[in-house]
Structure 1
């Protein structure tokens, strides 16, 4: 007998499916099923894990559906939203995403190696990390997107997806991921936010391109959606919520506080990424004892704020070989 929770109807014909993310601090992914007489639409699918596949299968079976009865839409490329595709893929599916292919995603990630690999090496140079994860490949399952390619239907700004009486407009919202999109039904005042705006969690904004300002992209994307006429927000993790504008303002305030903290840490003499990150304030203490994956995300978030401060002119970045250091701007 299945132990998966039943889908929850959050708006007429729209169902929340809680997909478990084992051994992950996020606990669960919010997948959404939009019922339709012809082809229901499933938004985001979880990791490539049997627990994710089972939760989705049980939810669809509740409506008498199987995987080849539904189409898919991905809010962005991260593996906790796309990974289970390799378990549930059917040739009958149409798969909508703001990316041309998973090869494109992998290519972009490969281009980040100038900072990505030194960061990973720095994590593993920490003695506690070596004890926790002697095999460096343990990092890959949560950080590496799908290696196989699948036929995707590319969707972009202002494209419209219609299912079950809903008319969702695509809104491009880069920041948490360069491929990120949200869906907005103006008539129903319904907003599917993916990981762009979450109720309690602050979306991770990581930068691994030193030349691009990922945090500025995110802040611009927050401004872009702030004043939408929305009654209900359906996020990728956590609880369904209201008051979109209020939450956007909270997220922006958090990042401005974080920027000030980064500058204070540099002013105090912390220059390299590890030193700045390990001395920053986080929800959980003792950064050196964290799991490798969480260290990686925290380093990426710190780098995003530092690079933004460089673009804003308050910090200066120096690169010597693979070493990157930050100082106060003159």
Structure 2
């Protein structure tokens, strides 16, 4: 591999504007290790295998598939690859817990129940449920579970053929168990979807006792502190020249979004997450009504994760009445500029 870089193969995926997922191949002699795997789809696996051969990598040399996180476009292609080629599958322990003990259908049902509590009208919930791939991909996740993946956690070392060892760093947020893989000697990090170029990774709330945005901001802060000047190899898009710089941009985005929600609550008082989400400025959408069903699902999950972070910080408080959740500012003053400054400090801790 030229310049000590793994080969990057773009495997086809049928997801929105993404179009493909990056699969990284480390190969030397008779051994290959992949990072991420594409989808449980003939076309996705075919484009991956074709891409490997284009780089001169024999798929029969595949020894191990290391997956950065639970999402369908990164994980489920491994079911086909590992079954066909006898490769070992390794997955972050936090996401492995979801795979084995929760399951994608139950996970999605829980998310819909939370959206209902958050004031989402039945018509919107039905629209989201009809368009969701959760039920369709349940078979794929079941096939992955049958492979008995090996769990990965903080500090584990993975040998990459021709590239030495990469260290596992746990970076929860985008999923509960997301990991990145770091080579400090080569100053490179395989990012999965923790940091992406040009787009903001999705962070959604699925449980009222969790704080995924807090987890995510902590993960970003750690990357910014420890990986200044490192090259990032993301799950989608081109390499990131300086991952710490991009990470700080993502932190700033979420601080701005937290401030936006504070301003919304300052204007309208008590509100459900659905009412807040309708007023947030969503990138690429003229207004709430122009979002597709999947976009509304993601936007509601994002709004909830930001409200929960504000709640943990003591900026808002959560109320429950009539089977619905509402939030309101918990401070006496509506000095939103002061609150936003506080958010920026908290996010970088």
Please say whether Structure 1 and Structure 2 have the same fold, judged by a TM-score greater than 0.5: yes
Return the alpha-carbon distance in structure 2 between the equivalents of residues 114 and 51 of structure 1: 31
1:57 and 2:49 aligned: yes
Is the 8 Å Cα contact of residues 104 and 134 (structure 2) preserved in structure 1? no
Aligned partner (choices 8, 29, 32) of residue 37 of structure 1: 29
Is the 8 Å Cα contact of residues 18 and 55 (structure 1) preserved in structure 2? yes
Structure 2 length normalisation: TM-score?
A: 0.82
Aligned partner (choices 130, 134, 140) of residue 136 of structure 1: 130
Is the 8 Å Cα contact of residues 68 and 93 (structure 1) preserved in structure 2? no
Return the alpha-carbon distance in structure 2 between the equivalents of residues 57 and 141 of structure 1: 27
Aligned partner (choices 195, 212, 215) of residue 214 of structure 1: 212
1:203 and 2:201 aligned: yes
In the TM superposition, residue 240 of structure 1 has moved relative to its aligned partner by: 0.6
Question: Which of 102-111 and 17-26 deviates more?
Answer: 102-111
Is the 8 Å Cα contact of residues 174 and 194 (structure 2) preserved in structure 1? yes
Return the alpha-carbon distance in structure 1 between the equivalents of residues 242 and 229 of structure 2: 8
1:26 and 2:37 aligned: no
2:69 equivalent in structure 1: 76
Return the alpha-carbon distance in structure 2 between the equivalents of residues 67 and 292 of structure 1: 40
Structure 1 length normalisation: TM-score?
A: 0.86
Return the alpha-carbon distance in structure 2 between the equivalents of residues 67 and 49 of structure 1: 19
Aligned partner (choices 82, 91, 95) of residue 97 of structure 1: 91
Residues 91-118 of structure 1, C-alpha deviations (whole Å, 9 max, x = no match) = 6211111124663363587367555335
Return the alpha-carbon distance in structure 2 between the equivalents of residues 60 and 287 of structure 1: 41
SS of equivalent residue, structure 1 residue 147: helix
1:152 equivalent in structure 2: 149
RMSD: 2.7
2:265 equivalent in structure 1: 266
Residues 241-290 of structure 1, C-alpha deviations (whole Å, 9 max, x = no match) = 11222111111111111001111112222611211112100112232232
Question: Which of 180-189 and 21-30 deviates more?
Answer: 21-30
1:280 equivalent in structure 2: 280
Gaps of 5+ in 1: 1-8
Count of residues paired in the alignment: 318
Residues 147-168 of structure 1, C-alpha deviations (whole Å, 9 max, x = no match) = 3312211111111111223210
Return the alpha-carbon distance in structure 2 between the equivalents of residues 139 and 230 of structure 1: 38
Answer 1 or 2: which has greater helix percent: 2
Residues 166-214 of structure 1, C-alpha deviations (whole Å, 9 max, x = no match) = 2101111011111100111111111111111112111111111111111
